[in-house]
Structure 1
């Protein structure tokens, strides 16, 4: 076992009992004891220990791959290695620039692109920017070893999400890449997604929103602390879930829904079931617009189908019933519940055929409703059994 008695003498630390009677420690034959005091000898020894410590730390840094590199030799490519709207967080970069302390500074992660032999930042864009603002010439780096695909996956899905709190929209973009993959990244398994993201069901629903639509724009504002759009995350989730189920909901429909929800403060009180039922009823009509009476300035009083002319009212009721029956069939076909599950090919084909017929009936009814609305607009009158009445009788000869 190594004799540490000398260490306790040099640093003036009380010795354990096993070292008290050894008589070993304070004499170093390499030093001239006649000309150097005991304090000087201890100071020299402390310096020797410090040098050994520095060498040990240097060795550990070398083993973990961290080293200093000229900042001018490192590049940034936010299109490949960033989800954020900006390449760095302005707040974080400014904090680094003003309050830099190397004791709290982790190495940034860089990657060498084999095509151009240049180094790019994968993680630590804010630290990189902060040191540039300080006028630093060197930066502590750790090199990522892997393919371009692995580097992109690390930077866009793993590292930036772990190091900094991203907004929902940025988190959503990382989830979309991880779930679907791209030309550089393979799609992740459900297990991997669950390990990387907090709630994959919510994120999955958000991905069905128009990426350039009003809900996503409002989510960006909400991430910046804007409170003009209350319940934006909740409403966005509802609409995303609806778009996932109903592929007939268009981007125009999404705008109408946004205007409906934010055109009147009373909409903040709407319950999810009531909202979904209302959208389903409007969808059943098969119109190009869901809420044409709404804008962000407000909504005209909504005409429920009970107040429609008799012919339109009856057709609308049929549409709502057909849509409900079609939804039930689709839910039955997709169900994994053991009671409702489809076990035979014959049963699956039968339900598929029924759903096909319901869709055809729904389209026919939608055409009938459009014709009824057109006739109502043009003032065409109907007699018994819905037969057209001639507005002017032909003169008898």
Structure 2
């Protein structure tokens, strides 16, 4: 067992915390520089190595409670608004009716939908109705959306030639433990489908997308209607301790390759309090889970959630084994595409992305939610980034 950390999300840092931050900063710079030059992250691009070593060094140098406070000091809504204002993107926020969650706002406040209007889509480039990209951000249900997410989300919308992007701002744990986030996201989807929303978007025009914990939410949305597509980027699909402790498993094999570690996964779990016996939190291994997910993704015994689904995972991720399990025959039954770092833009794996209804792309050497890191640094040639963008362009 790893030591528990006090997350203290709403407690301001003390003077001793700030002194610790200042004192540790030179150590951080030294460790980061050494890690960047000597860490073995082949075959990644230098910008990818820069991001990975930065995050690993940051998380192993500074106290977790202080990092958590720094991350949470700006809300999801404030981040989205600031980014849109800076980049001249049309944005409006819609607060869901309190009745949408059937809970009192003191228990669970309504979610907020952030609607970003994209440029005009030319009919000759997008036949039919342009889709809406509905995005659920990651962060372990504990952290808000951060500014590095925004370039990636915008790139996804542009690749799909979406007319708009809607980002769900949900409440965070530990103040609102799971499944509060799922309740809000399901309510958000129901609201968007309804006439009373003023949007009334048909399910067939919606692409569901999410990273990490947001990928969990994508898989858990079921409305009795079929959505156009789903993108699950490095989804958090399994809580079982068995997968974390398995000898030679990805949690052990990739402990020093991924910036997300077993200890951090434990910290997130302590905050959001997901139940290993609850299928909507623990997507794999729960009794009757095979039956549920075969119906959701394969259409066996019920309507499929989406027409097509893309799941991506890096071979350097601690979640690698879990994503393989969830994508396998017992659940999603996805076709596996193994993607390498060759620079040929017409490589075979890219050409195969649009050929199946359910695709798992395993990205050589890449880490957790790699496209968010890549696009934040202006790098567009990462495997996972190219896979997601190429797949979205098929719509």
Select the structure with the greater relative contact order (CA < 8 A; seq sep ≥ 6).
2
Larger fraction in helix: 1
**TM-score (norm: length of structure 1):** 0.18
**TM-score (norm: length of structure 2):** 0.18
Structure ID, larger Rg: 1
